[in-house]
Amino acid sequence: MQEAAAGDGPEQEAQWIRRMAEGDREAFERLFHAYQRRVFAYIWRLLNDTPLAEELTNDVLVEVWKGAKRFRGQGKPSSWIFGIAHHKVLDQMRRRRPRTAGIEEMFRMADPAEGPEAQALRQDERAALQAALARLSPEHREVLELTFYQGCSVEEIARITDCPPNTVKTRMFYARKKLREMLEKP
């Protein structure tokens, strides 16, 4: 996965988890620092709610502590951790509809160094892409998120989302198809 903290490979992470299983708080802190932003970003992009994303990030990492003894190194630690996050997000989605990005948030992203015309054009593109992403189903958004933001492989996504690799590929195909259709519409 792409956003891992520098130098923290799967081996190192698996070692932290083994130490956590023995009650090592320092190992937990290290894993927490390596993952809190990644897990938070993943949840935030799917739910678009900062306090809720913080709460769930916390829940996920505490769950990792609780389940450290069960981790047998059968996959990458990141797949296991994002798998826990995936289930937390699904639970939330069942309870509420995700909030789509507000218009104020989109304007806040404008780059002040650009000229007004370029800025307007980019803002149009940005708004269109964000609107299209927000209209995708959670499964389609998630496969894009895990592929392009988290850098996951097909197998990792399959493990995280608890579905066969072929389903991951199919979801990616339809996610891109729908995005293309939405972005091509005038």
Partner 1 sequence: MNHHEILEMLPWYANASLDEPTRRSVEAHLRECAECARELEEIEKLERSMKEFAAPVPEPSPFLLTRAKAAIEDYERGRWWPAIPSFARAVMAAQLVLIVALAGGVVYLKQPGGGFTTLSGPTGQAGAGPRLTVAFQAGVSEELARQTILELRGTIVGGPSALGLYTIQLPDGAGLGAALARLRENQRVIRFAQKAAD
Binding site for partner 1 (CB under 8 A): 2, 23, 25, 28-29, 32-33, 36-37, 40-41, 44-45, 48, 50, 53-54, 57-58, 61-62, 65-66, 101, 105-106, 109, 122, 125-126, 129-130, 133, 144, 147-149, 151-154, 156, 169, 172-173, 176, 179-180
**Least Cβ distance, residue 54 to partner 1 (angstroms):** 5
Q: Based on CB atoms, which residue is closest to partner 1, 92 or 147?
A: 147
- Our CA angle for 65, 36, 111, nearest 5°, is 170
The CB density around residue 181, as the number of other CB atoms within 10 Å, is 10
Q: Based on CB atoms, which residue is closest to partner 1, 93 or 144?
A: 144
Contact 172, 144 (CB under 8 A): yes
**Least Cβ distance, residue 184 to partner 1 (angstroms):** 12
Distance CA 148, CA 114 (A): 26
**Least Cβ distance, residue 62 to partner 1 (angstroms):** 5
Q: Which of 24, 94, 84, 91 minimizes the C-alpha distance to 57?
A: 84
**Taking the CA atoms of the chain, what radius of gyration do you get in angstroms?**
18
Q: Based on CB atoms, which residue is closest to partner 1, 25 or 96?
A: 25
The CB density around residue 54, as the number of other CB atoms within 10 Å, is 14
H or E segment to which residue 61 belongs: helix 50-67
**Least Cβ distance, residue 7 to partner 1 (angstroms):** 19
Q: Based on CB atoms, which residue is closest to partner 1, 86 or 179?
A: 179
Task: Give the 3-state secondary structure of residue 34.
Answer: helix
Distance CA 12, CA 182 (A): 42
Contact 53, 44 (CB under 8 A): yes
**Least Cβ distance, residue 126 to partner 1 (angstroms):** 4
Q: Based on CB atoms, which residue is closest to partner 1, 90 or 106?
A: 106
**Least Cβ distance, residue 183 to partner 1 (angstroms):** 9
Q: Based on CB atoms, which residue is closest to partner 1, 2 or 74?
A: 2
